[in-house]
Structures are given as C-alpha cells and as structure tokens.
Amino acid sequence: MERITFLGKTLKNPLVLASGILGNNAGILERVHNAGCGLVTLKSIGPAPRDGHNNPTVVDLGFGMINAVGLPTPGYDRMDAEWQALADRTFPLNASIYGGSVDEFIRVAQFVSEKEPDFIEVNISCPNSDHHGMLFGVDEKAAFAVTNAVKKVISVPLIAKLTPAAPDIGKIAKACEDAGADAICAINTAGPGMVINIEAKMPVLAFKKGGLSGPMIKPVAVRCVYDIYRAVSIPIIGLGGVTTGEDAVEMFMAGATLAGMGSAVRYRGIEVFDQVNRELDDWLTAHHTTRRRLSARPMTGGISRDRQTHPLMIRSAEKPFITMFIPLCSLIYH
Ligand SMILES: Cc1cc2nc3c(=O)[nH]c(=O)nc-3n(C[C@H](O)[C@H](O)[C@H](O)COP(=O)(O)O)c2cc1C
C-alpha cells in the first residue's frame, strides 16, 4: 500500500486504529503499527481519574457491538509511565482527548500537546456540562467553542471527532473547520441503543444503553462522511463499520482520505490491518485505479479538489439520464 502524507506527516498506509479499542499501552500500539496500521489512536484521555461503568460494558451482537464503557481514564496527568514509553515511539500517534467543559478540554489539550503526539483528536461526542449534559458534537456553537479553544493551546494538528447523533453533521464539521480543525474523524458510535436478554429479562449492558459500532453502523458512517465531504475542505478519517478492503473503498468513495477501524479488531484480530491493506490493493489493482483517485483529495498528494469529479457527485446534467435509466433497467429486469 502506498505511503500517504496526512497533515504534514508520512503514514505508511491509509488505515487508522480507532480510539478506545486497544488502550494506551505503547507496546500494544507498536504491535498494531507493525501489524499494518498507518496511524494509531489513543483511548480518549480525560481531565480526572474516572472508573467508567460496571461490567458488562461491551457485548458482541454478531453484526456489530454495543458498548457503554463510560470513558474510563487515569486522568491526563497520571499517565507518566505511558507518556514516557510513548515518547520513544517509532510510529505516528493520534492522541484522543475529552473534557466535560471547554476549560477541561483546554487543560487536557495543553498538557497532551507538550507530550508531542503527531495529532490531537478532540472527542466532542461526550456530554457537555457547560450545556447541561448535551453532547458538544450536536451543537454548532459548542463544537466551534471547544475546537477553537483547543486549537489555540496546541502545537500539533487538530482532528475533530464527530458523533452521528448530530441532526446535521455537515454543519458541525463546518463549525469545527471554521474554528481551526485540520481534519475530521467520523463517526463515533451510533445510537445509543439497547439490547435486552429476554431470558434474563434484563439489558445486556450494566449501563442498559450503549453506543453501536461495527458492520451494523457502516451505512450511517458512510452517509456521515459523504455529508461532511460536501461541507468542508479539510480531510476526513472515515470510521464506522470498516472491516474489509471493500469497506475502506466505500469510505474513500464517500470522501474519506483515511479509513479507521475499531470493532474490526474484535472480528479479525490485529491482523485485520495487513488483511485490509492487501484487500484494498487487490481491489484497486482489479479496478485499475488508486486510492487517491477514489477520494480525489489534494491533501494526500496533488489531485486537485474538484467536487464535480467526485465519483458520487452526479452532475445535474446527468441526472435526467440517471432518473430515466434506472427505472428502464428495472423494467427490463422484471
Ligand atoms: C469498546 C469501545 C470503546 C471506545 N472508546 C472510545 C473512546 O475512548 N473515544 C472515542 O473517541 N471513541 C471511542 N470508541 C468509538 C470508536 O473509536 C469508533 O468511533 C466506533 O467504534 C466506530 O468504529 P467501528 O465501527 O470501526 O468500531 C469506542 C468504541 C468501542 C467499541
């Protein structure tokens, strides 16, 4: 798989480990990098020690997972051993942070920036105490405020991680771009959902409700990436249900520059990164194309951003043809 320049850093391929999947241990993250992952993301780091929810916190439903881990964190300033080990890393690192208020975000961001990760991912999918528990990521003003505040105190590129709970995710992405975000990561888990064990007559999660991930949310994620692509000019990490090379192709076609994977590690092990790289290469070779041509974005090397030529953007002149062609085909088929 080709190397990629993403926000000024060279990645060995376009695959990203999602936040919260394999923790913050440098040794494990190095193994993931060696297993074929281009960029690894830390579990979101918060402002104060937090235990998270009681078990069961993650349940595999077969077609995806439901989780309510509850953002457990030792707290940004109680991770000396981790920061020390990560300082000697040989792989690109995306540090995910969260806070319950803009001030908390600033405090965590400032500290984490001094540890010199390659990127800081701002998880604005958590409840916002400044706005009575509403998610930062569903309100344009709140998303702008936190992105703007964090951008001012960090010295590495900022990636805003968005939630599909936003009524118009394109508008949230635009607010983040206007506030100085260098890239968007979408999506965080969908829902929340609830699954009941009908024999035990109780929800499968101790917290009862949880975020959905894995194959079942891929169509939501692809739609979000597509909406964001049309709203912003900064690159997008497409995340949500990507499990195979063809899923990654779908993300690139929707407008993503990189493809993230979280639940796929549960389904295919950390070997998933090498496997998806190979599947992606095979697909691109068989279709005589390149990843760059699929996502048609300038950030990864030279192709000018022309929305009209994006594969999913149907030009208005072609619409009458398509609207007639599809019913005609289905008539012939029946
Ligand atoms: C167990 C678990 C823990 C997660 N923890 C975090 C987290 O700390 N921060 C975050 O931004 N996203 C977190 N996520 C969301 C993932 O990073 C990702 O956005 C989501 O799972 C969709 O991707 P996937 O379908 O490939 O898993 C978590 C997901 C799971 C399944």
Q: Per residue, what are the HEC states of 107-140?
A: HHHHHHHHCCCCEEEEECCCEEHHHCCEEHHHCH
Q: Give a yes or no: residue 324 inside a domain.
A: no
Per the rule left: phi > 0, alpha: psi between -120 and 50, beta: everything else, 218 is alpha
Give residue 137's domain range. 4-309
Is 172 close to ligand 1, i.e. is its CB under 6 Å away? Answer: no
What is the distance between the alpha carbons of residues 51 and 65, in angstroms, rounded to a whole number? 21
CA 288 to ligand 1 center in whole angstroms = 33
Omega before 192 within 30 of 0, i.e. cis: yes
Q: Write the single-letter amino acid at 279.
A: E
Q: Write the single-letter amino acid at 131.
A: H
Helix (H) or strand (E) holding 294: helix 291-295
Is 20 close to ligand 1, i.e. is its CB under 6 Å away? Answer: yes
Is 185 close to ligand 1, i.e. is its CB under 6 Å away? Answer: no
Give the active site residue among 126, 176, 185, 224. 126
Q: Give a yes or no: residue 315 inside a domain.
A: no
Q: Give a yes or no: residue 162 inside a domain.
A: yes
* CA 43 vs CA 79, 111, 121, 232, 242: distances in Å: 12, 16, 10, 26, 19
CATH number, position 291: 3.20.20.70
Global confidence as pTM: 0.90
CA 287 to ligand 1 center in whole angstroms = 31
Q: What is the residue-level pLDDT of the chain in tens, covering all 334 positions?
A: 778 999 999 999 999 999 999 988 999 999 999 999 999 999 999 999 999 999 999 999 999 999 999 899 999 999 999 999 999 999 999 999 999 999 999 999 999 999 999 999 999 987 666 776 668 999 999 999 999 999 999 999 999 999 999 999 999 999 999 999 999 999 999 999 999 999 999 999 999 999 999 999 999 999 999 999 999 999 999 999 999 999 999 999 999 999 999 999 999 999 999 999 999 999 999 999 888 888 764 333 333 344 444 555 544 444 555 555 555 555 544 4
> Looking at residue 65, what is its pLDDT?
97
Q: Give a yes or no: residue 334 inside a domain.
A: no
Q: Give a yes or no: residue 227 inside a domain.
A: yes
Record the tokens describing residue 23, joined without a space.
């923790």
Could you identify the atom of ligand 1 that is nearest to the CA of residue 18?
Answer: 17
* Residue with CA closest to ligand 1 atom 3: 20
Q: Write the single-letter amino acid at 290.
A: T
**Number of domains into which the chain is organized:** 1
- Select from 115, 111, 135, 113 the least CA-distant residue to 123: 135
For residues 165, 294, 13 and 97, what is the CA-based torsion angle, rounded to 10 degrees?
A: -20
CA 330 to ligand 1 center in whole angstroms = 40
User: What are 103-107's contacts with CB under 8 Å, separation 24+?
Assistant: 104/46, 104/47, 105/146, 105/149, 105/150, 106/149, 106/150, 106/153, 107/47, 107/76
Q: Give a yes or no: residue 333 inside a domain.
A: no
Omega before 198 within 30 of 0, i.e. cis: no
Residue 224 annotated in active site: no
Q: Give a yes or no: residue 314 inside a domain.
A: no
* CA 258 vs CA 154, 159, 273, 281, 294: distances in Å: 23, 12, 13, 14, 11
- Select from 57, 16, 270 the least CA-distant residue to 161: 16
What is the distance between the alpha carbons of residues 114 and 132, in angstroms, rounded to a whole number? 30
- Select from 134, 76, 75, 136 the least CA-distant residue to 102: 136
CA 213 to ligand 1 center in whole angstroms = 7
> Looking at residue 301, what is its pLDDT?
33
What is the distance between the alpha carbons of residues 303 and 156, in angstroms, rounded to a whole number? 25
- Select from 14, 72, 59 the least CA-distant residue to 260: 14
- Which residue has 């800081």 as its token pair? 120
Q: Give a yes or no: residue 57 inside a domain.
A: yes
* Residue with CA closest to ligand 1 atom 12: 19
What is the distance between the alpha carbons of residues 31 and 35, in angstroms, rounded to a whole number? 6
